[in-house]
Structure 1
């Protein structure tokens, strides 16, 4: 065999040796070979094996070849703009078809800021990082004027230790920018973040999606990561004008790659308390994945909404009506196909809005109470005490005492009468077996303006008035809205509606989470997301698919890039 026959195998062995030495000596075990390059190398090695004098080099090449991982063994992630966490700055989420995924976040400068770290944006690195591993974060960005920024890959408080930094030059045009770091030690998933400080920028900055890439990605790798990014939705921020001085901050989730505008819409109405956006993620994702848009909003006086927070159901109902009116003016929404999805208190508000607006396409109530006026509250208290095992002879007098107090408040009785009624409530609750501190706590929850106003609630009457499709869902372990009573009342209220249905889901609590044992509020934190039961999500999603129209076909072409 001629000596020249050794040359291709020798070159191959040297190439692979260089790759491996770099990977090991420079603590870069994530350095990779592309699958096609590996295949070409393997072909050369097999050919060299037939050459007796080149066989030893072929063995070396084979060992080195198997020592280097391929791209297929690495894990890259591209995250949408909803994953950006903003601090210290006003911002809005908007749509721009010039970036992958079409979603952007627009950050306004703080004219009084003097330090870069006073505001900015951060996004957690989604996966664990091995010691010595390279990670590159690539994201789309632009600014209202040319701008220099220092960005970092770093840990959290208190040290905020960096393992990668980069100096950026943003322009007025969209461009992918990047920062790369090498982990000095192993990091847990989401313990490190991409950080973009903007406090002293003095200009509007817009950010798009982020690709987290392992190893030493090429331009082709980056392009592939963003080309493969196919989010099911794009979010935009909405301002909903309600009463004078009240503007609600909302997020509109529009489907991407499925269906077409104008889209059917589900407006999510939250439960009792100072709640903002973000509590119904699983349901919203299910809807957008099937071509149904979704709107969620901060209650008045909560989050980015203006006004004063107050649990006044009449005012909250007016806010929900304003959300409907605003969405009907949005060209991306089909105003004839708007559904209301209300949870708990929202399950009372949704029928009230629809009863006054028969053009609402559908109503879903999740653990929504069914009843009219103060007598309904008495029945609800009785149901809760019975569910807690209180004897009838004790529960009835306690509920009657609470009703007498509320009626006195509605009738604007004098202070002496109110004091007497309050004392009677405590006495009756103590007689029912409640220790004094619990009896006093019950009184404070009952004797509030919000509860007094229950005389104006007519959820049973509202349900009876509805002629559009209605789905009323209850949870078997709900300690607040007792399914055994409320579901029966809902069936009575919907008896004349051929498109009304009532479902009780076994094993779920008021918050519709799987794994409930007692159904109490103390279980909520450990049972996963609110309204996250897959059974509930599928039930609501499938039902809305049917009543708002057939499932749209997935778009044949990718969204604009």
Structure 2
């Protein structure tokens, strides 16, 4: 799954605050009396002295934007004219070894030493940025969870080479949970994983390698990377209003590129060339992307033979990864949250697989947030089919926090509860 840096435009929800008034904002997490919270962190996308903010209900933006729904003065934060209290997290740096590689992490704990507090390890998506000091770790900790975040191998301060080998990444995640358990000994109860996007392949497998009391996944796939590529292209041609012939053609394209990938680029060239001939002259063909098939189709046969493997198969990805087989082995309670209009990870196959697992008696709890794209983003769609995201959908962060605490109750924004017990 690709990670795209997106500029977020927010509709003002409170009286406009001059940008100059936000210069005194200090990084931290601030809580209201009713449990609401806002996280403020530095971001490369926000010019100094501004900070990125994230509210529990999904509003996100920059503190130095006109109309920001908070005010800062001398390090204090107020929202709607009421002062919010800074949460004094306990933050403990960590290093741990996994498969002869030293990885770097951080344990974030709310105040106090509650022996029943859940402990969650955050498992990355495909991004190469560091989650240490980022929004999501603090957003989870603000809901009363102890949170362990760490830099994947080859990213941030961790050693090793960046990879998308789910089995190796799962071993790292299992070591991260073992490390977090030792660090928080006596100060936690149940412990498990949360994985977003590509982390949906990694976190369940990690739970088969070490003791885990729960696994939560947001906008992940129960499908292989090859299936993801095909479903993305089908989603693209459907969004363009094309018919069954176009769907069948991109299906043949995906089959040809899969042959190349699974044979280490030894076979599949003739099949791909036949699909190229079918696509020639179709005005929509140049816009088909998928994860990789569109780019492969637009390379000449000579170019693909020369650079194809180096360009498309250089991250140890397990192309035919059997995600369903992993979940069949897993008896740990599982939360899966789907983005209803996910173009990056189309949900049709994943939803069907999860419903089958639930019907077979697996402890699977499935929620769907309608009209959201990958990352649980709400969006505005333009006539040409392009989308601009607006905010994280309301209820998503709270659902994650409550489910991990075993305290799910009431409604979570527009979430639809598809299966599992409340």
1:400 and 2:260 aligned: no
Corresponding residue of 1:368 = 220
Q: Show the counterpart of 2:74.
A: 212
The change in CA–CA distance for 1:439 and 1:376 in structure 2 (over 3 A counts) is closer
1:348–1:365 CA contact under 8 A, matched in 2: no
Give the structure 1 partner of residue 388 of structure 2.
Answer: 523
Which protein has the bigger helix share?
A: 1
Aligned residues: 333
Q: Deviations over 1:179-213 (max 9, x none)?
A: xxxxxxxxx9769xxxxxxxxxxxxxxxxxxx937
Match of 2:95 in 1: 239
Are residue 354 (structure 1) and residue 207 (structure 2) matched?
yes
Paired residue for 2:108, among 238, 241, 253?
Answer: 253
TM-score normalised to structure 2 length: 0.65
TM-score by length of 1: 0.51
Aligned twin of 1:546? 406
Aligned-pair distance for 1:471? 0.9
Task: Tell me how far 1:456 sits from its aligned partner.
Answer: 4.5
- Contact 1:125/1:190, CA 8 A, preserved across alignment: yes
Give the drift of 1:410: 1.9
Q: 1:426 to 1:318 in 2, by over 3 A?
A: farther
CA distance in 2, matches of 1:338, 1:384: 39
Give the structure 2 partner of residue 329 of structure 1: 182
Distance 2:221 2:279 in 1: 23
Distance in 2, Cα, partners of 1:280 & 1:230: 16
Deviation at 1:364, TM superposition (A): 0.9
SS at match of 2:118: strand
Q: Over aligned residues, Cα RMSD in angstroms? A: 4.1
In the TM superposition, what is the alpha-carbon distance from 1:81 to its structure 2 partner? 7.1
Hey, what does 1:423 align to over in structure 2? 273
> Contact 1:369/1:486 (CA < 8 Å) preserved in 2?
yes
Q: Structure 1, residues 303-358: CA drift from partner, whole Å, max 9, x if none?
A: 2111122333333222212212222322447686222111110111111212344x
- Mark the CA change 1:404 to 1:537 in structure 2 (over 3 Å): closer, same or farther: same
The question of whether the paired residues in 1 share the 8 Å contact of 2:257 and 2:293 is answered with: no
Q: 1:540 to 1:317 in 2, by over 3 A?
A: same
- In the TM superposition, 1:117-516 aligns within 5 A as 124=49, 212=74, 230-244=86-100, 246-257=101-112, 260-261=114-115, 263-277=117-131, 281=135, 283-332=136-185, 337-357=190-210, 359-372=211-224, 374=226, 378-379=230-231, 381-412=233-264, 414=266, 417-430=267-280, 433-436=283-286, 442-444=293-295, 448-449=312-313, 453-497=317-361, 499-516=363-380
Could you tell me how far 1:291 is from its partner in structure 2? 2.8
Q: Which residue of 1 aligns with 2:59?
A: none
Conserved in 2, the CA contact under 8 Å of 1:509 and 1:520?
A: no
Residues 384, 482 of structure 1: 8 Å contact kept: no
Change over 3 Å in CA distance of 1:274–1:423 after alignment to 2: farther
Q: Name the counterpart of 2:394.
A: 534
Is the 8 Å Cα contact of residues 115 and 188 (structure 2) preserved in structure 1?
Answer: no
Distance across 2 between alignment mates of 1:547 and 1:392 = 45
Structure 2 unmatched ranges of 5 or more:
1-20, 31-47, 52-61, 66-72, 77-83, 298-307, 409-422
Structure 1 CA distance for aligned equivalents of residues 199 and 278 of structure 2: 31
User: CA–CA distance in 2 between the matches of 1:334 and 1:320?
Assistant: 20
Asked if structure 2 preserves the Cα contact closer than 8 Å seen for 1:263 and 1:292, the reply is yes
- The structural deviation recorded for 1:497 is 3.5
The offset of 1:229, in angstroms, is: 6.5
Query: 2:339, 2:371 within 8 Å by CA — same for their partners in 1?
Result: yes
Over 3 Å counting, the alpha-carbon distance change for 1:477 and 1:426 in structure 2 is: same
Partner of 2:300: none
* Rounded Cα–Cα distance in structure 1 between residues aligned with 2:275 and 2:289: 8
SS in structure 2 opposite 1:444? helix
CA contact (8 A) 2:222 2:349 kept: no
